[in-house]
């Protein structure tokens, strides 16, 4: 009778530090050309993709000596994605790691105490690594690459296929269709739908289990421009906008209060509506402006629908416009939002940018999450999942394209 197979963690063993650091050093050495802020900075993710492919080549099917199936996918020159598969023995059983992105946010070397574009160490023990992309996300790229290489070397008999997807273009949404969104559109990730999907892109050693939706909004107020010495003849668009925004925020917080599930998911904040920008056409200090716009965003926990919130905001504005005389306070004895003698009324308009997105709440009952909990507890010693109302649009892309994606957002 054959002996039982050893546990997977014993079979795979501990990942070696030296190959990880060596690979990460190569990746961060490319980071100056990985900065993503077009049109000035267009990343060349193919530089990282090639390092990943080179690291896996000895255990890939390309050489005939290993089990890993490695595929580069590019939708534009110099910007590759990489899909790596360690085949399992049972069809349609999959565990996947997705989201390790090969671009980075820009770094200004003059603002750093060390060279951001090379890997350095802090302290004599060299335990702390420094450089652009160490935690977001080149460190993740190097780690998962080493994991896949180790699987290729040890060749453990797994029922589940293990698939890693290294992606381009995570740090900027002005260009689309060349990263995970392109892979989803072309059906290249369909195989992942049958098993848990871990999104690897959070610089923490605890699981991130929820993210927020985001609604960018613009509230424009139109009044009547006039000299400030004759304020009774003006409709002050700034005052109108400030008072209207306060009323809209009050209604928003009444209609979308803290949700009972936010405590379970440990969201740092409930849903919020905050102004972040103010603009107006300009003018002298003695001119009461005739129009102005306040812009901002709503951060929405995933237990509310963004489309319903947008509908409610439009209703708020329509209601205020219909009742300017009674719905809003005024400021001082001659502040007015309606001038009956001139048949003039102030007016509010609200608009929304096209990139409205819902939030994500991971399935806390899934086998994948339970395994993640157990592993975190074993390695870190405790488990404290958390959620934030920051948004990860690419994760939502996976969920919205096909609800069969069993998504987990993983941090480490």
Reply yes or no: is the peptide bond before residue 4 cis, omega within 30 of 0. no
| Known catalytic membership, residue 103 | yes
Q: Distance between CA 85 and CA 147 in Å, rounded? A: 12
* Cα dist from 122 to 106, 119, 137, 155, 334, whole Å: 22, 10, 19, 36, 63
42 three-class SS: coil
**Catalytic pick among 45, 46, 85, 170:** 170
Contact between residue 291 and residue 346 where contact means Cβ atoms under 8 Å apart: no
170 assigned to active site: yes
Hey, what's the torsion of the CAs at 303, 305, 311, 312, to 10 degrees? Answer: 0
* C-alpha angle 183-187-188 in degrees, rounded to nearest 5: 55
Surface-to-core class of residue 174, CB atoms within 10 Å of its CB (0-12 exposed, 13-18 middle, 19+ buried): exposed
**Alpha-carbon gap, residue 215 to 236, rounded angstroms:** 27
Instruction: Determine how many CB atoms are found less than 10 A away from the CB of residue 67.
Output: 14
Catalytic residue among 30, 46, 103, 297: 103
Residues with catalytic roles: 103, 170
């Amino acid at each position: 009778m054959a002996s039982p197979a050893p546990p997977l963690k014993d079979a795979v063993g501990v990942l070696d530090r030296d190959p990880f650091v060596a690979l990460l050093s190569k990746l961060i050495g490319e980071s100056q050309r990985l900065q993503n802020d077009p049109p000035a900075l267009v990343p060349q993710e193919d530089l990282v993709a090639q390092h990943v492919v080179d690291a896996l080549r000895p255990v890939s099917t390309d050489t005939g000596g290993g089990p890993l199936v490695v595929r580069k996918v590019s939708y534009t020159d110099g910007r590759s994605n990489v899909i790596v598969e360690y085949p399992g023995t049972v069809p349609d059983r999959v565990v996947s790691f997705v989201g390790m992105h090969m671009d980075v946010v820009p770094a200004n070397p003059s603002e750093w105490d060390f060279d951001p574009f090379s890997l350095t160490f802090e302290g004599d023990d060299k335990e702390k690594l420094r450089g652009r992309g160490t935690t977001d996300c080149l460190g993740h790229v190097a780690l998962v690459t080493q994991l896949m290489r180790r699987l290729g070397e040890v060749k453990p008999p797994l029922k589940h296929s293990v698939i890693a997807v290294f992606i381009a273009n995570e740090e900027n949404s002005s260009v689309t269709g060349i990263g995970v969104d392109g892979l989803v559109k072309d059906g290249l990730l369909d195989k992942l739908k049958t098993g848990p999907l871990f999104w690897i892109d959070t610089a923490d050693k605890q699981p991130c289990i929820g993210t927020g939706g985001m609604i960018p909004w613009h509230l424009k107020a139109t009044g009547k421009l006039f000299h400030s010495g004759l304020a009774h003849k003006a409709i002050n668009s700034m005052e109108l906008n400030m008072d209207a925004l306060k009323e809209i925020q009050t209604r928003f917080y009444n209609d979308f209060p803290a949700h009972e599930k936010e405590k379970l998911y440990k969201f740092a904040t409930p849903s919020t509506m905050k102004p972040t920008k103010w603009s107006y056409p300009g003018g002298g200090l003695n001119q009461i402006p005739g129009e102005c716009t306040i812009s901002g965003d709503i951060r929405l926990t995933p237990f509310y629908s963004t489309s319903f919130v947008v509908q409610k905001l439009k209703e708020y504005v329509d209601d205020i416009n219909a009742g300017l005389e009674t719905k809003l306070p005024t400021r001082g004895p001659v502040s007015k939002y309606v001038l009956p003698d001139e048949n003039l009324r102030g007016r509010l308009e609200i608009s929304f940018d096209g990139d409205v997105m819902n939030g994500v709440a991971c399935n806390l009952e899934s086998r994948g999450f339970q395994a993640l909990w157990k592993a975190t507890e074993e390695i870190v010693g405790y488990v404290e999942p958390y959620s934030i109302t920051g948004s990860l649009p690419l994760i939502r892309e996976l969920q919205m394209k096909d609800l069969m994606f069993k998504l987990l957002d993983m941090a480490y």
